[in-house]
């Protein structure tokens, strides 16, 4: 079974970021404050299930597409 990622979270569920599987996207995510060890929570799901909004470390809300969320592996 492949690792659990942010795209697997259900609404309201939390997770802790472990690593990223895509290099290009990981830089952008890091710059936006998604760091390994950071807690995220799925806050909202847009109509048709994509994009999703996650709360990053309690400090702000980040919206990303499911394929972008699938890059973020959880612990």
- Which residues share a beta bridge with 5? 73
Q: Which CB atom, from 2 or from 48, has the smaller least distance to other proteins?
A: 48
Q: Which CB atom, from 1 or from 12, has the smaller least distance to other proteins?
A: 12
Residues that bind other proteins (CB under 8 A): 23-33, 35-36, 43-51, 53, 55, 57-65, 68
Q: Which CB atom, from 2 or from 49, has the smaller least distance to other proteins?
A: 49
Q: Closest approach of Cβ 34 to other proteins, in Å?
A: 9
HEC per residue, 8-59? HCCCCCEEEEEEECCHHHHHHHHHCCCCCCCEEEEEEECHHHCCEEEEECCC
């Amino acid at each position: 079974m492949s690792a659990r990622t942010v795209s697997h979270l259900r609404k309201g569920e939390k997770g802790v970021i472990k690593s990223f599987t895509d290099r290009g996207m990981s830089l952008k995510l890091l710059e936006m404050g998604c760091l390994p060890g950071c807690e995220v929570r799925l806050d909202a799901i847009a109509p048709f299930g994509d994009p999703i909004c996650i709360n990053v470390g309690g400090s702000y809300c980040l919206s990303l597409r499911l394929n972008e969320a699938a890059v973020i592996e959880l612990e």
